[in-house]
Chains A and B, each alone.
Chain A
Amino acid sequence: EAGVAQSPRYKIIEKRQSVAFWCNPISGHATLYWYQQILGQGPKLLIQFQNNGVVDDSQLPKDRFSAERLKGVDSTLKIQPAKLEDSAVYLCASSLVPDGGGYTFGSGTRLTVV
């Protein structure tokens, strides 16, 4: 079974620039998540999709972050404009159902804002 694919693996941008990350979940997984993991912290949920609908985006900084999951398959996360404090690893995960430990994470995108 193919895993969760994310790209790019690394990205360095200057503050105030924009950046986009892409995620392709495991086939058939209806639920998709974007997490932000700052160095030394645990992953923090940014947004949860169920198919192409948003279930939870309460922790997404909507003034600069946006995400979409058109057609209920792959997803993009965008930051515009980026701030220094956005430097983190952005992890995408998918699962068949929201409950339980059946999450599969992608390798993440490591973002550095300079």
Chain B
Amino acid sequence: RKEVEQDPGPFNVPEGATVAFNCTYSNSASQSFFWYRQDCRKEPKLLMSVYSSGNEDGRFTAQLNRASQYISLLIRDSKLSDSATYLCVVNQAGTALIFGKGTTLSVSS
């Protein structure tokens, strides 16, 4: 079983749509959780951290359910510029980030 599992997609949505990505992780000792964004042929960049209480950054909302070992990312009012691969990321104290395979989003006009 992979440490971080994501639906690879692709998710093809029209502009203005709401889209949700899900992720599960296998190691209950995981302590920190993130969503990274990776544009085509570019390096990954931090999109947002994920907290147990849930957190929001503009059109983006991240949720964490530690009991179910489940992380989600919701994007509202999708823009063309949101087209990218979204990587679910976890780590334990002192260790390196562990990345999922990524979910590809394509937003069309």
Q: Could you list which residues of chain A lie within 8 angstroms of chain B, going by C-beta atoms?
A: 33, 35, 40-45, 48, 55-56, 91, 98-103, 105-108
Instruction: Given A91-B43, A105-B45, A107-B43, decide whether A99 and B93 contact each other with a Cβ distance below 8 A.
Output: yes
Q: Tell me if A's interface is mostly helix, strand, loop or mixed.
A: loop
User: Considering the chains assembled together, what is the distance between the CA atoms of A89 and B62 in angstroms?
Assistant: 28
Count contacts on B: residues with CB < 8 A to the other chain.
25
B interface, CB within 8 angstroms of A: 4, 8, 31-32, 34, 36, 42-46, 49, 87, 89, 91, 93-102
Jot down 5 A-B pairs with beta carbons below 8 A, ordered by A. A41-B101, A42-B101, A91-B43, A105-B44, A105-B45
Closest Cβ of chain A: how far from B42's Cβ, in Å? 7
Whose C-beta in chain A lies nearest to the C-beta of B42? Answer: A107
Q: Closest A-chain residue to B8, C-beta based?
A: A40
Minimal Cβ-Cβ distance residue in B for A46: B96
Query: Which of B44, B93, B97 is most buried by chain A, counting CB atoms within 10 A of its CB?
Result: B97
Q: When A105-B45, A107-B42, A107-B43 are in contact, do A45 and B98 touch as well, CB less than 8 Å?
A: yes
Q: Are B93 and A42 in contact (CB under 8 A)?
A: no
Whether B96 pairs with A98 at a CB distance below 8 angstroms is: yes
- Min Cβ gap A99→B in Å is 6
For B93, the closest partner residue in chain A by CB is: A99
